[in-house]
Amino acid sequence: MTETNEAHFGALPPLYKYMPNPYPDQRLWRCPVCNEKTGQRTLPLLVLVEPGQFMILKLTCRYCRACEALIANKHEIEHALTEFFQELDPTIIGNEYFVMGTLEKQILRQESQFPQSLEEMRQITHDFKMAYLELRMRQTGWFREGQEPPIVEPPPSQEWVSTRPRLLTWRPK
């Protein structure tokens, strides 16, 4: 058994391989890794939004038992983040965010007793087994023999967009 020097946030063992689905019009009924049918799993996800804002998000994701892949729709995460930060602090909307892992399911049953400190949250967090798996779809249609279908770029986010004016920097030549 090899030891790794990876830093983990959660104190509990890693559970899933995480794959965000960046295509809002595509639903994955089959796992893109092993092509098995996927089921659903409702889990509390721990999301870190820069600068240092944690959020617990209850989300129903697709789940593949065969390869333990958890597939979450990116636009659903961004919609929930936008609605939450719209009232709390609209300046955070559009910042970088990172889905860190899943929390123990007891959080769903005890919604009134969320962890009070960062250490309490760390004690009930499962990190993901590996870095994010990247999902990219190929264009459908007829192609010539030997021609690879092009990869479809995911559309940009519609909701999780900063409304702050951007600073333009000018550098003399």
Q: Per-residue DSSP letters for the chain?
A: --------S-SBPP--EEEEE--TT---SB-TTT--B-EEEEEEEEEEETTTEEEEEEEEEEEETTTTEEEEEHHHHHHHHHHHHHHH-GGGTTS-EEEEEEE-THHHHTTT----SHHHHHHTEEEPSSSPPP--EEPPS---TTPPPPEEPPPPPSSS---SPPPP-----
Q: Are 39 and 5 in contact (CB under 8 A)?
A: no
Q: What is the largest CA-CA distance in the chain?
A: 61
Total residues belonging to the chain: 173
Q: Which residues, listed in sequence order, are joined to residue 127 by a DSSP beta bridge?
A: 101
For the entire predicted model, the pTM comes to 0.80
Q: Is residue 20 classed exposed, middle or buried when 0-12, 13-18 and 19+ CB atoms within 10 A define those classes?
A: buried
φ, ψ (nearest 5 deg) of residue 132: -55, 140
Query: Residue 158, Cα to own-chain centre: how many angstroms?
Result: 16
pLDDT tens digits, one per residue of 22-42: 998 888 889 988 999 999 999
What average pLDDT does the structure give for the chain? 83
What is the amino acid identity at position 34? Answer: C
| pLDDT at position 13 over 60 | yes
Q: Please report, for the chain, the start and end positions of each structural domain, with discontinuous segments joined by +.
A: 17-138
Percent of the chain whose predicted confidence (pLDDT) is above 90: 31
pLDDT tens digits, one per residue of 47-105: 999 888 888 899 999 999 999 999 999 999 999 999 999 888 888 899 999 999 998 88
